Amino acid sequence: MHLYLIRHGIAAEPEAYATDEERPLTKEGATKTRKVAQRLYQIEIQFDLILTSPLLRATQTAQILQTAGLSSQIAESAVLAPSGDIHNWLEWYQQWQETGSRSLALVGHQPDLGNWAETLLWGRTQDAIILKKAGAIGLILPETGSPVGRSQMFCLLSPKFLLG
């Protein structure tokens, strides 16, 4: 099972909006995210599902990924909102795994995605993995049992690396 943790693109400053949920991608953020999505498509990455945080900047990022041809399906999950609990996601994941799907993208926020990657890799967080805006972490999750502390990272892609 391939899991991609993708951080939303560059978003508007928090002071400009009444709530964090309303912050959209900036023009630069949308452009950069489109370029990253196109590059992911070029290197033949595909997702059976894009699961996204309900916050606007994340849903916009997920829509850009879908438009680039990376997946035909998007769903929202509150567990991917800031400070979401990985254990709630793991319950969802165990059920989703039964569908036989092989590739999943999670679109969310930092530091949560970095912490989730650490939990899946090492069984605990260390605040060591930093995911850049519009960046991606690729993990291989085991086919059976809990993926916590049993997953393997196969890529950490910053937008700078993808866009060269």
Assess contact for 75 and 129: CB atoms under 8 A.
no
The answer to whether the Cα torsion of 147, 151, 108, 74 is positive or negative is negative
Assess contact for 10 and 64: CB atoms under 8 A.
no
Confidence of residue 138 (pLDDT cuts 50, 70, 90): very high
Instruction: Dump pLDDT digits (tens) for 28-71.
Output: 999 999 999 999 999 999 999 999 999 999 999 999 999 999 99
pLDDT at residue 71, rounded to an integer: 98
Task: Output the CA–CA distances (angstroms, integers) from residue 18 to 13, 23, 99, in the order listed.
Answer: 11, 9, 39
Residue reference for tokens 């943790």: 5
Phi/psi of residue 89, nearest 5 degrees: -65, -40
pLDDT at residue 161, rounded to an integer: 84
pLDDT at residue 121, rounded to an integer: 98
Residue 164, pLDDT > 80, answer no
Instruction: Dump pLDDT digits (tens) for 97-123.
Output: 888 899 999 999 999 999 999 999 999
